[in-house]
Amino acid sequence: MACLLATPAALGNVAAADDLVVPRDFSDIQQAITRARVGDRVIVEPGAYQDNLRMRSGVDVIGVETARVILRARNPANALVTFDTVTGSALLGLTLDGGTLGVQVVGSNGVTIANDVLDGVAGTAVLVDSFSTVVVRNVTFANNAVAIERGTATAPVIGNIFFGNARTIVAADGATDNRANVTFNCYFRNADANPAFGVGFQLGDPLFVEPDAGDFHLRQGSACIDIGGGTDAIDASVADAGAYGGASADADPFPVGKPAANANGSAAIDVTWPANLDYHVTSSVVPGSYRLYYALNDAEPPLDGTDAGGGTQPSPIAVGNVTAFTLANLTPTVAAPGVPQLLSAEPRQNAAVLSWTAVAGATAYRVGYGAGSVDDNRIDVGAVTTLTLGGLVDGTLYRFAVTARAQAQYSIAVTALDNTPSRHESALSALTLAPLGDVVAGARSNELTAIPGPTTPVPNLPDEGCFIATSAFGSARRAEVAILRDFRDRFLLPTRPGRALVAAYYRASPALSRKLDARPAWKPWVRAALAPAVGAALVAVSSNAVEKAALAGLLAALAAVRVRRRRERAREEAR
Amino acid sequence: MSPIARSLAALVAAAALCAGVRIAGAQPASDVPTATLVAPRWSVAVDVGDFEPDLDSFELFYGDDKMTAWAVGFAYAFRPWLEAGGEIGRGHADGVGILTGQGVPGGQVDYTLWPAQAFVKVRGLFRPGQLFVPYVGVGLATAYYEERIDGQQKRTGTSELGAGARVGLEVYLNRLDADTHGGYGDGPVKQTYVYLEWRRFSTEQTGAELGGEQWLLGLKFGFGRDGAASRAR
């Protein structure tokens, strides 16, 4: 609410046009659209949003990064975005993912749909009625049933990529569109029966970088480079087709994947990262480059470390067009951590559960314990504040204490820069943490004691267990019994019929197991009879869904073959 | 007087009250409404409320002397005033046990009880569309239990067969709003009651009493013929 009140649009007393930023100013996009006034822009920061947007006159919705501003339908039956009797409005820089209808334009004028990605729409990606004036420019249409359905051929379709759509552009009545005002588009792997590509088109693979990850940037050699008409905002050349071409394209490269970092000795870290395959970065003529950001003992941006290269390589380091770099001559220093307080040492059967307070700067803890002294044994754990310590002897008094430990830790991230004079830079990759150098220990905590032992529940009820199996196999600890028990717990007890079955079994089995105990000669027969059940339970508890499905399919196939053979035999006998 | 004896006394008193109301409500043959007193044969009920186990130390180990419980059941009406049915419920509590050897509370215990009961109910239903319907019932009870103890093997089992009793009051919602079941159109639900029920059951396992006392608020849906409701209008 404070955020709302602080927003100029919410106050309603600011005359100038405003940028309403989602989610900084408004929690969702529609809320911002609703509160915007004519001339305002709704700026959407990277994130996945679930909504069905209704656009308003004079209000543009602009994604900050096309690939990372993702809109999915809250109600899949409705259009993701609707322009209904809207005038002068634009939808720019968003990825519209899935749904049954992408963008619907009804009775609207001056609508611009540009630099968006419409991916995997089950119906029509952009649906325009016969009364609207719309420009569809630099949009990537991928894997939709119908990319564009126009009620009027006066809606220009310029500089788009059509990839993997069942149909590209059709007339509103379902007929093949006449392709009037269709210019400079790029087509590949669409299933149109009778396509007409318009003017200045290109046929060929767009070579998207990684569409499954939402990255529809173009790789080097893409057929859709420099064919879109107009000028690119990114490199000032002829515009590329698709979402990353044209005057209003999002210029920043897609973020680099999370780097890997490994200590190399006590003062160096080897860092590697996956390449960004955008042709603006990989170009063999004028390549882009990468920057490596790092910080010591600080995981929050800005990553402003200063000690690499003996102090000569402050963050960020321009590492050139490489995907590996060694941060060398580092000075990993860390202050000794404070003293944790051991809060509790609760006894369990052959174990104790310890909990302690967290200490600022601690990257790990060492737990000391023993019957005589806390120095008898020690165990190192990570940055946790609870530990269940097993292997203890019931009935013995143990002492426990905790020591905080700290090790210098570098936070590392990488960005990609394109090859343009502007050197557009991607957002930071995900952070990688790399510990380095000697571990520094703080002072020991207070001591607590506990005597491990079993817990008796209240009420103290017996475990009736798997009576028959236990009796047949001789021990409740046998693997066969454990498998049946596991099957009971995982597959029967969670369901009502399963619980009823277990309850019925528990009612009947004690008497049967007593009879079995009285007649040991029966036990091998019972074990043999239980073997299929144990085998089936083993498959159920130890296989994943795919393996189960494969096994079920195999059994079904065997059964089908057997039935068929039996029928054939019966037919032969009938003859 | 033990809790069970108290409960039985309350049950007998309620039964007597119910029977008394029946006798007092009886009318001469000439005054009996021409509408026949019928009710749906089958009904299902779902209720939720408190379950207070008959364990003196329950609060010490589980932090409360009650646990939230729910149950679902069905019944068949042999007569409008006589039903038999069954139900299964669930109660759950998280707490601690006793640290063996030290004799103090400790350890983590999750206690879950699945009581199951079969019952016969006598309902004080005298005329079609009667707004308030008191009832009493008796039956058999058992329970499936599960005790999850931190770091130890889970304990499960079923208690011995015990007894249960219940007293309650149903409010006939169709009478308050004749279209209560109208929202279902021609669906199978013909009568809807909301009810408040006091229930007690007793079932033991190796000497430990798993039963207790319950107060439940529920909804009961009658299926099939709608004689009582339609004639009441």
Q: Which residue of B has its CA nearest to A451?
A: B102
pLDDT at B31: 39
Give me the mean pLDDT over the A13-17 stretch: 54
Which two three-digit tokens encode residue B48?
Answer: 């939720």
pLDDT at B227: 46
Q: Which residues in chain B touch residue A499, judged by CB atoms under 8 angstroms apart? A: 114, 144
Calpha distance A86→A38 (Å, rounded): 11
* Residue A252 per-residue DSSP state: S
Query: What three-state secondary structure class fits A14?
Result: coil
Task: Judge residue A531's burial from the number of C-beta atoms within 10 Å of its C-beta, 0-12 exposed, 13-18 middle, 19 or more buried.
Answer: exposed
Question: φ and ψ at A562, to 5 degrees?
Answer: -65, -45
Give me the mean pLDDT over the A326-335 stretch: 94
Q: Which residue of A has its CA nearest to B155?
A: A463
Substitution target from B90, B114, B158 for chain A, most A beta carbons within 10 A: B158
A351 vs B151: CB contact, 8 Å cut-off? Answer: yes
Q: Which residue of B has its CA nearest to A476?
A: B153
What are the strands, taking DSSP E only, across A81-229?
81-84, 87-92, 95-97, 101-106, 109-114, 117-119, 124-128, 134-137, 140-142, 146-150, 157-158, 161-163, 167-171, 182-183, 186-188, 202-203, 208-210, 215-218
pLDDT at A504: 76
Owner of token pair 């999915």: A72
pLDDT digits (tens, 9 = 90+) for B42-85: 999 999 999 999 988 899 999 999 999 999 999 999 998 999 99
Residue A9 forms contact with B (CB below 8 Å)? no
Q: Nearest CA to CA, how far is A461 from chain B (Å)?
A: 7
Whether this prediction's pTM lies above 0.80 is answered by no
ipTM given for this complex: 0.78
pLDDT at A431 over 80: yes
Q: Nearest CA to CA, how far is B56 from chain A (Å)?
A: 10
Q: Nearest CA to CA, how far is A498 from chain B (Å)?
A: 12
Give me the mean pLDDT over the A563-570 stretch: 86
pLDDT at B185: 57
Calpha distance A451→A26 (Å, rounded): 55
Alpha helix (H) ranges present in B2-131? 3-25, 58-62
Q: Which residues in chain A touch residue B116, judged by CB atoms under 8 angstroms apart? A: 503
User: To the nearest 10°, the Cα dihedral for A299, A304, A308, A311?
Assistant: -140
Question: Facing residues of B50 across strands?
Answer: B68, B215
Q: Which residue of B has its CA nearest to A499?
A: B144
Range ranked top by mean pLDDT from A196-205, A383-392, A470-479? A383-392
Which two three-digit tokens encode residue A170?
Answer: 């059709």
pLDDT at B20: 45
pLDDT at B10 over 70: no
DSSP letter for each residue of A111-142? EEEES-EEE--SSEEEEE-TT--EEEES-EEE
| Residues of B contacting chain A (CB within 8 angstroms) | 55, 57-58, 61-62, 88, 95-102, 106-109, 111, 114, 116, 144-147, 149-158, 205-206, 208-210
Nearest to B158 among A353, A456, A506 (CB): A506
Q: Which of A253-262, A473-482, A543-552, B147-156 has the lowest mean pLDDT?
A: A473-482
Question: Facing residues of A41 across strands?
Answer: A19, A60
pLDDT band at A100; cut points 50, 70, 90:
very high
CA A562 distance to own-chain centroid: 45
Name the residue type at position A98. G
